[in-house]
Amino acid sequence: MKNMPQTEIIVAVDYRRLYEELLDKCAALEALIEKLQREKNGKGNKAPPFSNFAFEFLTNLQYKVKSLKAQVDAFKSGQKYTDMKADFKAQLAEKDKEINKLKQELAQTRCQVVDVRKKWEQVAEDMEKEHSKELSKKDREIKALEKKLLDTQVKLDGEKEKFRDKVRELYETKTELEKEKDKNQKLKAQISKDYENSSLSSSQKPNHKKIVNNREKTDKRPGGQPGHKGHPRKRRTPTVTVEIPAPEEYVDSPNFRPTGKIITKQMVDIRIDIVTTEYSTPEFRDVRTWQRVHAEFPEGVVNDVNYSGNIKAFAFLLNNRCNVSIANVSDFLSELTGGELKISTGMICGLSKEFSQKTVEDQEGAFADLLLSPVMNTDFTTVRVNGKNMNVAVCATPSTVMYFAREHKGHEGVKGTPVETYQHTLVHDHDKTFYSYGDKHSECNQHPSRYLKGNMENEPDRKWAGQMRELIREMIHFRNSLPDGDKDPDEIAPGKVEAFEARYDDIINLARDEYEYELPTKYNKDGFNLYKKLEKYKANHLLFLHDRRVPATNNLAERLLRSVKRKAAQVMAFRSFDGLDYLCRSMGTVASLRSQGRNVYDSVASIYGRAKK
């Protein structure tokens, strides 16, 4: 075998090293034994004998030395090496057999592997071909599927685009629908506005709702009932007495006898007589100047024919208080007098100017009274003058009224009115212009009550409007039920007032929560704006609970302006601003006379009898 010499060299080198190691060990042991013997011989009999352990150790060393020497001798003789070499050759031969056997098995295995590899390669080739076929088939199927997928994707993209268009169209439609719903709701709210849920006057909504009679229906006839105190017509002092004789069938018959009672009944009539007083005086001529002179006529007797204050007062009040047209006033007076009194329309038209000029001092006194009043109601309304919108302002207390014709509202309209320099409490309808004047401000609570009712109809899901409207009703009822006196409501019932204010705050918080949960639409923000207004101007709306002089509403100013609106509806449009100004000054004086409880007709007649200044 080619590898044998290399194997023998390795074995020889190993035995040589082993032999050298044994020699070293033998030399070391011999040196140790000799040292121990010298120490023993050198000490003589004086040294103590070895212990059993030392003796055994020494003996063991001697045996080991002997064994090692035997081994060294065997190596020196070469016998051991020969035996080992023979044994090694035997083992090596055995290993060669095993190697040959393994080589044979390896050759067989290699043949099998080659055979298997060939078969595997054939199988792999067949499988590859089959796989290639399958792959080709799958590739074709994949390409078909990819094409189908591409077509489907194109169709899907088209459908998605159509779907997006439909969704966009649906969204736009829904948005438009919501807008139309909001617009519809706003229009419904506008259509349903009347004098009960908005600031519209009752005259603009003539179709009033039928007032429901909640009383229990009975079989009694309408009118006075037995057992109830009657309310007959007031008897008057007779100006003419007519005695009706008793019928003869009662006087001459023994079946009837007088009771001593006289039954009287009155027929009240009215008669208009024309009383014409003619004044005459002789005329003279000054021979020096040829000027004609005569005695002074009484005040008011200027023209050939003059009308007294009674006639002027009748025509003036009929035209401006009863809102009868000028032509109808003239015709009515003519009919009342049997055609004897026919007043020209021009004279009737000038009555307002004359009345205004004769009441300048009354107007100045009313202006001063308004400035000194602790509380004053004020408001504006719009009228038509010669095709343009003008305004009428009213300033009023329970006893004094003044109207002012103005071309504009706002600060321009306030100029020249008592509001401009007023220093006390103003009651108005949330016209922010008025917040620049006066010391304190009270908001009308009648307007919010109407607006709240409209909000209840337009936003039925929100609860705050109904609660606030009920609270305002309770507060006004509480204020009206208090006795007259010098104490303010919060002094008479402080706990009640505090409870009202707490409920007010709770309802405002409820409104805030409801509008934060569901925001109002841009077409219907009236309720939201009303809530913000009530929140911001709480102190102004509740001032009447802290000051007995402040009314809960601005109804005084609104009622006074209603007469202006009725007059404006009658004339349709005033011809000039001056005519409107004269009318406003006159109506203010008439309204003051009425609020002071004076006889309006007699007072107006006496004013027309005044001398011009």
Radius of gyration of the chain (CA): 66
Residue 284 has pLDDT above 90, yes or no: no
Query: Nearest 5°: CA angle at 171, between 166 and 172?
Result: 95
The Cβ-side half-sphere exposure at 424, using a 13 Å CA radius, reads: 15
The Cβ-side half-sphere exposure at 381, using a 13 Å CA radius, reads: 22
CA dihedral 9, 11, 14, 15 (to 10 degrees): -110
How far apart are alpha carbons 328 and 18 in whole angstroms?
Answer: 163
Do the Cβ atoms of 412 and 406 come closer than 8 Å? yes
Residue 589 has pLDDT above 60, yes or no: yes
- Supply 27's token pair: 């030399």
What Å distances lie between residue 377 and 92, 390, 543, CA to CA? Answer: 139, 20, 14
- Supply 105's token pair: 């098995």
What Å distances lie between residue 307 and 300, 313, 410, 589, 611, CA to CA? Answer: 9, 10, 42, 21, 14
**Where is 65: in which H helix or E strand?**
helix 52-77
pLDDT tens-digit series, residues 242-268: 999 888 888 888 888 888 899 999 999
The answer, as to whether pTM is greater than 0.85, is no
Beta carbons within 8 Å of 171's beta carbon, 6+ residues apart? none
pLDDT tens-digit series, residues 431-455: 999 999 999 999 999 989 988 988 8
Report helix, strand or coil for 338. Answer: coil
User: What is the largest distance, in Å, between two alpha-carbon atoms of the chain?
Assistant: 213
Model confidence at 106, pLDDT cuts 50, 70, 90, reads confident
pLDDT tens-digit series, residues 291-314: 999 898 888 888 888 899 999 999
Which range (69-73, 119-123, 126-130, 458-462) has the least confidence?
A: 69-73
Helix axes 577-595, 309-320, angle to 10 degrees: 100
Report helix, strand or coil for 385. Answer: strand
Give residue for tokens 């212009």: 433
- Of 383, 385, 436, 390, nearest to 409 (Cα)? 390
Residues 558-587 have a mean pLDDT of: 91
How far apart are alpha carbons 267 and 252 in whole angstroms?
Answer: 30
Beta pairing partners, 427: 377, 442
Residue 49 has pLDDT above 70, yes or no: no
Do the Cβ atoms of 590 and 335 come closer than 8 Å? no
**How many helices (DSSP H) and strands (DSSP E) are in the chain?**
19, 7
Give residue for tokens 């035995």: 15
